[in-house]
A and B are shown apart, each in its own frame.
Chain A
C-alpha cells in the first residue's frame, strides 16, 4: 500500500477515521473499478446513497463479517433463528459471496453485546434486510481481500480469484484470507454497489441445504433457552393476577417460604414470583402461592356475546388506506358481505422462557425474543438502569409466530434476578399462562361491497375494516406485563393509527387486482379490551380471506371460472405466473368432484410488495358432522431470488397447515371474568388426523431479483382457499372464522 493509493481520487469521503482505513477502502474502490462492473464511488459532495438492506443502519463491514489471522470467519446478524431456518440461509449467502464452505463460518445471531441492531426478526424480512446486508458485505470483503493480494503480489486484481478461503493467482499460488487480513482492514464503511456473484456461478445459494440446527434438535443437544443450565441456577415461576389491572391486596407467603427448595418469594408491587432450587419445587411453590394471594377486581373483559359484531360500534379513527377513482362505475351486479376473525393465539408448543442473571451491576437476559435491542430498551427502562447495564442475548425457543410471551418472560426473569443477585434465574411460563397472557392476534371485522360491470369486470370496490393495532411490541417498558404490576406501574403506550406501505391491520387490505374505483378504510380501534399484538401476517390473514372470498363470489356472478376471473384482473406478470403455476400443478378444472368435495383457489402478494403466493386445494365436508378435511393443497410461491429452496418449501407447508388450523378450529374464548381458553382442550388446534394427504409447493426462482421473504406468504390465501372450497363443496359461503364442524353443520343445514 502506498500513499498514492490513499489519495486515489475514487476514494469516498465517508470513512470514519484513520489513514489505514482510507487506504484499504481505496483499494476496494480500485479493485471494483478495475472489474469494470461497479460504479460505487460517489462524488464526495453528494448525499450518501442508501446502502443495501440493513447495511444502511450499520455500514461498517466488520459489524457483519470478521476474519481473524487464522482465517476463521465470523458472520454477525441481528436477526434470530425462530425455527424458520434463517441461520442456514444466512450462512449460504455469506459462504457464497465469501467463497468459503458454509461449515467454516461461525454465525453469531441477535445479541446486544455483539451483533448489529436489526430491530425485530419479523415481517418475513430477515433475508430481505439482513441477508441482503450480509451478501453485500461478504462480496465487498472478498474484493478487499483480492485487492490486498493484488497489492502484495503487484498484479492486477483481474488476474486473481477467490476460492475456498484463499485468493489464488493465475500460476496457482495462493494466499489464505487469514494472511491477507489485518485488524482494521474490514473496519470500513460499505459502498452502495457490490460485485455480487451471478446466479450462474452459485455453489450453495439457490440449492437445498440441510438446516444447521436440525441435528441438535433431533438428538436432544442443548440448543433452546429452555435447555440453558448454569452453576447456581434457580428455577422460577410467576403468579399472575386473575385479570389485567388487578392488584395484589393480601399475601401470606410464609407457607411457601417454608416449602422445600424455595429460595425466594419475590414480591415487587403486584408482581409476584417464586424461585426454588429445583424446577418442580418452583411449580409446587407457585401453586401454593397462587392460593395465598388475594387480588383486587381488575379490569373486566367485555361481554363475549356478539362481541365481534360490536367491534363496529367501538370508538374508532378512520384511516384512508386507498382511494382511487378512474372512470365510470356502471355496476351491473354487486356483492356485499361481512367477514370476521376472532382473537387467536400464537400457541407455541413450548411456553415462554428466559434466563436472567444480575452480576456486577449488569443484568444479562437470555431470551427467545424477536428483538434483542428493543427488549433491552424495555427491560432497562423497567429496571430503571441505563441500557448498557442490560444485555439481551437471543437463544432459540419454541416456534415464534409473532409477538408472543418471549419479551414478557424476559422481563419476568430480569425482575426476579434483581432479587437473587449472582444466581441465574430460569423462568418458564406454565401452559395456562401462555394461553391467557400472550398477546393475541386481534379480532377483526371487515365489510366489502364490490361491483361488476356487464362484461364481468370489477368496476368498484369498497372495503372497511375494523381492527386494533397489530403491534404493541417493546420498545417501551409499558409493553411488558411485569411492568404493569410494579409499585409505580408503567402504562402501555397509546396505540396510534398509521397507514404505511407494509400495512398493519390494513396489511393486504387493498386488492392487487386491476380495479378502477376503490376505497379502502381502516376503522382503527384504539381501545384494546384484550391484549393484542403481532401474529403472523397481521391483518393480511383476514383481509386476504375477505378479498379472495369476494373474488370467488364475483366470479360466480360473472359466470367465470375463479382462476380465469383472477387472471382477468391481474396485470402483474409475477402474480399471473404463480396463479397459472398453482392452477396447472393442481390440475385445476371444472370436472365434477365426488359428493361433499370442493376445490378452492386463492392468491395474494404478501403486503402487496413481498412474496407472491397462489394456492389451490381440495377438501371434503362430512355432511353428518360438518367436519372439514383438507385433502390436498398445491401452492406456487415467488419470493424473489431463492437462497434455500427447501427452507422456502418447509416454511410454506408450515404456513399452510398453521393457517388451516387457525381457520378450521381456533378462537380465544372469554367471559367477563377472564380468558377461558386456557389449554389445548379449550383451544384446540390441528392434529395429525386432520392434516392434508399432501401439500405440494412449486418455487418460482427469480435469479437476480431481490429477496422477498417467505414466512408469511401463505397465511392470507389459506383461509380463502378453504372457504372457497367449502362454498364449492356445499354451496354455502362461510364468513366467520373459525369454520368449526358445528358451524359448518349449521350452515349447510343438516
Chain B
C-alpha cells in the first residue's frame, strides 16, 4: 500500500504495509539514519522524531496514522556543512559519546525549544525524561539544549532586526 508522508519538507510516497512503524519507513524505505532502533516498544526514545510540533516515538507509531502529516528527523535540522542551531550546540558542547541516542534526544529537545527557546534547565530535564542515554552524556546534553535555546533566540532576534 502506498502512504504519502511529508518528511523534512519533501513529500514522499512509500510502498509499505500500513502497520509498519514509522521508524522502519524512515530508515529502510527513505534511507534516513537519524532515528534509531533502540527498543521497539517506546521505552528509550532513540527513535524520537517530530510529527508536526510534537516529539513522537517512531518505533510505535504505525505509518498509516501519518498520512499527510509533516515529519521532521534530525536530518531536517541542518547538514554537516550547514548545521542548524541545535546541531551546532551539540557540536560546541561535545554532547555525545557513542551518539546513538543523540538524534532522538535532539528531536525531543527541538519540540521543546520550538515551543519556547527560553525554557529553563529544570524544564529540559523533565522534558527529556523519556529518552535514555547509556554512555552518561546527560550533563552535556542538558548544556547543549540550553545553548541551542540561546542560539535560537539570537537567531530570531537578529532575524527580527533585519
Residues of A within 8 A of B (CB): 82-85, 210-211, 213-224, 226-227, 229, 235, 260, 278-281, 283, 347-351, 396-401, 428, 430-431, 646, 650-651, 653-658, 661, 679-681, 685-689, 691-692, 694-695
Contact = CB atoms under 8 A, between A and B. Distances in A.
Given A221-B33, A680-B132, 9 more contacts: A218-B91, A280-B17, A280-B24, A348-B98, A350-B37, A397-B100, A646-B94, A654-B136, A658-B134
A370 to B, nearest CB: 13
Contact of B96 (A218, A227, A351): A218
B87 A218 contact: yes
A216 B80 contact: yes
Contacts of B73: 220
A349 B100 contact: yes
A349 B104 CA distance: 11
B129 interface: yes
B100 A656 contact: no
B134 A431 contact: no
Contacts of B37: 226, 350-351, 428
Chain B interface: which size bin? 35 or more
A691 B139 contact: yes
A518 B22 CA distance: 60
A434 to B, nearest CB: 9
Contacts of A84: 97
A656 B97 CA distance: 14
Contacts of B95: 214
A399 B100 contact: yes
A217 B99 CA distance: 6
A661 B46 CA distance: 19
B103 A679 contact: no
Contact of B98 (A229, A400, A692, A694): A400
A386 B143 CA distance: 51
A348 B97 CA distance: 12
A516 to B, nearest CB: 38
B66 to A, nearest CB: 15
A27 to B, nearest CB: 41
A312 to B, nearest CB: 32
Given A222-B33, A350-B36, A688 B97 contact: no
A487 B162 CA distance: 73
A693 to B, nearest CB: 9
A280 B41 contact: no
A685 B132 CA distance: 8
Closest 9 CB pairs between A and B?
A: A83-B98, A657-B136, A217-B99, A220-B34, A399-B98, A654-B136, A398-B100, A280-B24, A680-B43
B133 interface: yes
B119 interface: no
A82 B87 CA distance: 21
A746 B142 CA distance: 33
Interface string B56-92: 0000000000000000011101111001000100110
B35 to A, nearest CB: 8
Contacts of B103: 217-218, 220
Given A347-B134, A650-B137, A688 B125 contact: yes
A651 B94 CA distance: 11
Interface in B1-43: 16-17, 20-21, 24, 27-29, 31-34, 36-41, 43
A218 B36 CA distance: 12
Contacts of B74: 218-220
A83 B34 contact: no
A215 B16 CA distance: 31
Contacts of B125: 688-689, 691
A210 B140 CA distance: 14
B126 interface: yes
B87 A219 contact: yes
A653 B98 contact: no
B138 interface: yes
A618 to B, nearest CB: 16
Given A210-B94, A219-B83, A655-B136, A235 B39 contact: no
B138 A688 contact: yes
A328 B80 CA distance: 67
A681 B132 CA distance: 12
A178 to B, nearest CB: 28
B135 A658 contact: yes
B50 interface: no
A82 B98 contact: yes
Contact of A279 (B28, B133, B135): B28
**Which among A219, A279, A685, A695 has the greatest number of chain B C-beta atoms within 10 A?**
A219
